[in-house]
Structure 1
């Protein structure tokens, strides 16, 4: 460490110049910045269910529709000439939006008797007796009109980017008689893009302020407080440079990477600055300050950087694409922060005037004094361990996995309410799709088999209706059916017939896990049903992957951390001493997730592995402090608490307080992550500082 410190002080200008150069390059990479709000893309790659869904959409050249529910504001029926005319005006306004390919509505575009065009003005002039005949000629009337006749559904299919189309629908002027509700996957993705933009613009600065406030209470110097978080901020910029340079888009999972890098990467700077400040009272020589500080915290910084990166990299054991990407780039950012803390921060401090501590820190000393009293007996540690084990044993079996496609949004979010309205009135804002077997040489036989399968599907409690060319054949003109079969006529629902299949739409009602099981069982037993798929099926499969990711990433993280500790200490005892608090913390974390009603999902499932990587840091720093103080004889744990207890407590609170900023996010999993990390960091720090002393000889806590 002495030679490294000398080199950093001697070549500080070059180290700072290289850091500045990489930072500027990272800032320039923001020109390649892009978002990915299509959550379905997470599931269409790497899973059988996802590949089935993508293949069916490609086969029929179709995409998820945007659902527009028009509700009569005065509660009057829409089966009137004026209402139909306004529905037609809404349809035409939607058709005029750039990127819209098809709009299916209750109002017909052509006269079923003459084949001529029906304009809104012509519809207004229709006599009342003509309305039932006109709407009755629409084979999709039952799908598009609610049972009470007060609400109607318009299906908008995009020709280009459906997300961009959904984002422009707010600008469409609908007739005043309607209350408008917009739902569907493209609408959800459009909302996610807006959220991601606002998240990156506002949340990181808020979290930086919260971390700075917590660190200032520990350090007591504005300059050193800013320097303590400097590596994390620069490391975050470098991480964006890596993301943008590899053209990796920001999605709902990856967006939290900079937050993790800021709050967790700041720990290394805090530990270095805190010890550097203490050394400043002993010498005025910048080189000696750097050398002494690196002697104390250089090795722990390396180990904790590796351990935290391991926690994130363990997410590669998950078979879920976005979780893997998040783990990779979070580990990259943490590594950047560790490198900057080890090399750039000492070089920078060696060129600055740093005064000794002017006043006692506002945070930490009282807690450390209390901890010194607690560790003098093993009873508090034993009680803590027993309580945490019992808590974990009771609640971990109750953990639930979230298969809700809207898991990102709180219960009162307008988009969730819009999906609820659509499902209640029309049987699902995101209907399932599927395919019946079809033989062009035996149209009648294929239709009969498809209709028999349709009847079986509609007999299920969770299925409201099934729509296909076969089910519509009796209500459509013969020439339209023939045109749909040979491809010369496109139905309002888009392409419905292929060389060997009939695409169908399945509207659900209260579909849950049991209903999905029934659907899949019928699919497997029926010769007519080729496949039933859709976002609900994909999210159910994703739930299984998330649970698997939770198990395997935790096992991988624990194994990798244990190997790293044993390679460092080369003895079993200190390895186990460092691991015991971590295992208790993971148990408490998983128990809290279940007890609080938080469900595992794409975002919360990563928490355990992250806590392993971060939680072991406290044990590493504390064990290093114990080993450093052991040479001075009995009472070395108490001296280690004085040296390392305050930075450990401040770091735990810094992470917890910093992640409180996630409560400003409109996404529910970010609120959950904040609560999870509050509990985990407090338990991890407390266990490290209380459990470890209990496993050491009693002379370790002896007083003078």
Structure 2
């Protein structure tokens, strides 16, 4: 009792401060808004795409070590641009010369920082003329050669993996034809230049490619990042005006008074300024995932605003004057607002535990944003409403419509109260039916997939038709990345690979034998070679390849091959020295470091294997090596991110539910001496999440970089409907004859505010479905579904659960009643 009294006293003092000194509250909040506005200029644009999620992961660190220790096709610290050419036949003399001229244009510009090129044109030209080393020399060599010479040169290069790897899968050495090719241009950028400069370089190369006679396009990390950033900007440009118009419409419908609508809009703007001003001061970057934050905050803010204005109007309808009406309304709602805020923080903030920084930053931003939303709508809005009503009274400005959204006598009130009317006849049966249906949907939804791929972040190849009818200022730019990536998959379909990073002394006898032994009986996803063996590239394959081309080196290998299997098992230091001094040194440096202490093996993965299966195979294979071995590679990194996405979703949901339930049990126990109502409060949201999961699987949606947050966010957003209903129910229960009557009054009154809040939140967040990137579109759809389910369950699942709670409560009170002394 002492705790409850202390809490009630604190809330009463805070409420009195708002009601008695509204102008001081307004001034303080406006000053704070000015302070937070100063941080808006410091909000930075974070990295988009996959890189933002892989940074700092152990699997990515291992891959970084591989890239740092082993020579890549181009020198370290260089950036590359891929020139992708499609034609009826990219290997004709005319086609090759056209591409050589494009390379000349790129090299002629100092601002494009071209260092070297690798692809069909350089390889064919150098085969014809070994001294050719520049694009101009390539072109001149090709112009001098006859078509017959070029065709013969292509046939001679058919065994060169670098050459065939730069051509489409349909390359035919007999007819000397291929429908596509890739030429990789490397840039040695100055250390002072960053990613923005690389984007500029690749954009300029794209302009050159577009003016080429054949179908040529530029592709690279710079152009990818540029389109991700552009899609982010375009999505905001498209979505935010729609969200604002929808919210404005529903504010008008809910408030029906221009002054109240203006107050609601001002409060919403302040919420956004506070949240993003804080992000600027805290140095938290704005990423694609952050686009959901303002939408969520606007939706929750409208929810708070509708409740406070609607309850205030209910009190004025009962005959209270402005100050006393606000004192009563705010006094009743303040506890509910605090409960909703804390539970929302639990739901949103649960994402802070994620190992993935974009999800973690989203959790921080949304949790703090909800706190700011409560402060502005729980303190500033009531004060501003009182101040403006006072000015309105003194100036004689009339009120337009101050009726509550719904009442017991309204049609909406009767519809909302209908589930409570039905629940009185068979509450147990209804609760059991809900539990069973929730269990079925949850079991079905447990099979929802996990994804992490570039397509989640990039705009689709074909933009939706509705974007074509938008005004010019809202129309998105042109996107080519997804089309280009699909072209690469179709023309150059290569299987994924994993890498084993090895550390040890590779000069020891039998070191290479142990390395090659892993090729036999590999895990199933790696058994893609002849006879079920692995298809691997390593220092062993480089030695064997060079021995096939160099008789002297082959003799050295044979003298040190005791079991005559083509793999030397003694005098390895000598063999390495000769190999590294030969023409094969470039290939050798890709698989063995100069000190012979670190090596890598690259394995081809079965095209039917999932990233998870490939990652498991890498781990299993790494355990077979006698030296320290680590599985890595892009596929392994993707699998690690997918695992962490799933962990984030499940752990976030578990933390949100446990913290929310515990908090509600304590709050209702301390303040109302009704702790079981905390459990009843969580019941509707659990059913809602079960239905949401089932819907996700049915619609083919996956838990990805953003939708992984949906489960815990659903707790944060959805619990508000149960909390507001339960809190109002407690107020009515103390005055009514029973739980049924109290729930009917609750749903016909607060139910109207909940209904209005549901519509604004559903349509506001659902507007994200119009975003260009699938990542945001799916998130918007799921949030809208989550809110709809939460509202429906608050009026369908909560009434029968409350009736059962009343029965349990009466059973608990009966023994106490018998112990009380009688008056006879």
Judging changes above 3 Å, is the alpha-carbon distance between structure 1 residues 44 and 672 closer, same or farther for their aligned structure 2 residues? Answer: closer
Say whether 1:689 aligns with 2:795.
yes
Say whether 1:84 aligns with 2:96.
yes
Q: Which stretch shows the higher mean deviation, 673-682 or 616-625? A: 673-682
Determine if contact 1:363/1:650 at 8 Å carries over to the other structure: no
Corresponding residue pairs, total: 696
Deviation at 1:452, TM superposition (A): 8.2
Determine if contact 1:280/1:356 at 8 Å carries over to the other structure: no
Q: Separation in 2 of the partners of 1:337 and 1:126?
A: 73
Q: Separation in 1 of the partners of 2:325 and 2:582?
A: 80
SS in 2 for 1:605: helix
Q: Map 1:194-343 to 2 at 5 A.
A: 194-281=230-317, 285-343=321-379
Aligned partner of 1:470 in structure 2 is 542
Judging changes above 3 Å, is the alpha-carbon distance between structure 1 residues 318 and 153 closer, same or farther for their aligned structure 2 residues? Answer: same
Determine if contact 1:104/1:492 at 8 Å carries over to the other structure: no
Aligned partner of 1:153 in structure 2 is 182
Q: Map 1:156-171 to 2 at 5 A.
A: 156-160=185-189, 161=194, 164-166=197-199, 168-171=201-204
Deviation at 1:474, TM superposition (A): 6.5
TM-score normalised to structure 2 length = 0.75
Say whether 1:672 aligns with 2:778.
yes
The Cα offsets for residues 581-604 of structure 1, whole Å up to 9 and x where unpaired, read as 121112111121122211111211
Gaps of 5+ in 2: 1-10, 71-75, 172-177, 393-397, 463-479, 554-575, 808-824
Q: Which of these residues, 358, 363, 374, is aligned with residue 419 of structure 2? A: 374
Q: Which of these residues, 54, 68, 81, is aligned with residue 64 of structure 2? A: 54
Q: Separation in 2 of the partners of 1:13 and 1:359?
A: 23
SS in 2 for 1:154: strand
Deviation at 1:88, TM superposition (A): 2.2
Q: Which stretch shows the higher mean deviation, 122-131 or 338-347? A: 122-131
SS in 2 for 1:68: strand
Aligned partner of 2:401 in structure 1 is 358
Q: Which of these residues, 95, 107, 110, is aligned with residue 121 of structure 2? A: 107
Superposed CA RMSD in Å reads 4.0
SS in 2 for 1:209: helix
Gaps of 5+ in 1: none
Q: Separation in 2 of the partners of 1:538 and 1:231?
A: 43
Judging changes above 3 Å, is the alpha-carbon distance between structure 1 residues 67 and 512 closer, same or farther for their aligned structure 2 residues? Answer: farther
Deviation at 1:338, TM superposition (A): 0.4
The Cα offsets for residues 560-618 of structure 1, whole Å up to 9 and x where unpaired, read as 11121122111332112212112111211112112221111121111111111121111
Q: Map 1:604-615 to 2 at 5 A.
A: 604-615=707-718
TM-score normalised to structure 1 length = 0.86
Aligned partner of 1:568 in structure 2 is 667
Aligned partner of 2:224 in structure 1 is 188
Q: Which stretch shows the higher mean deviation, 403-412 or 252-261? A: 403-412
Q: Separation in 2 of the partners of 1:590 and 1:439?
A: 51
Q: Separation in 1 of the partners of 2:783 and 2:711?
A: 10
Q: Which of these residues, 489, 498, 504, is aligned with residue 423 of structure 1? A: 489
Aligned partner of 1:498 in structure 2 is 593
Deviation at 1:684, TM superposition (A): 1.1
Q: Separation in 2 of the partners of 1:492 and 1:374?
A: 73
SS in 2 for 1:69: strand
The Cα offsets for residues 495-553 of structure 1, whole Å up to 9 and x where unpaired, read as 77533345677776736314554455444435699555333221111111122222211
Q: Which stretch shows the higher mean deviation, 515-524 or 338-347? A: 515-524
Pick the structure with greater CA Rg.
2
Judging changes above 3 Å, is the alpha-carbon distance between structure 1 residues 78 and 436 closer, same or farther for their aligned structure 2 residues? Answer: farther
Judging changes above 3 Å, is the alpha-carbon distance between structure 1 residues 574 and 139 closer, same or farther for their aligned structure 2 residues? Answer: closer
Q: Separation in 2 of the partners of 1:101 and 1:334?
A: 51
Deviation at 1:678, TM superposition (A): 2.4
Determine if contact 1:27/1:241 at 8 Å carries over to the other structure: yes
Determine if contact 2:412/2:748 at 8 Å carries over to the other structure: no
The Cα offsets for residues 46-82 of structure 1, whole Å up to 9 and x where unpaired, read as 533122122223334467854432111xx1x222332
Q: Which stretch shows the higher mean deviation, 470-479 or 88-97? A: 470-479
Q: Separation in 2 of the partners of 1:389 and 1:440?
A: 58
SS in 2 for 1:36: coil
Q: Map 1:584-663 to 2 at 5 A.
A: 584-634=687-737, 635-663=741-769
Deviation at 1:29, TM superposition (A): 2.2
Determine if contact 1:316/1:323 at 8 Å carries over to the other structure: yes
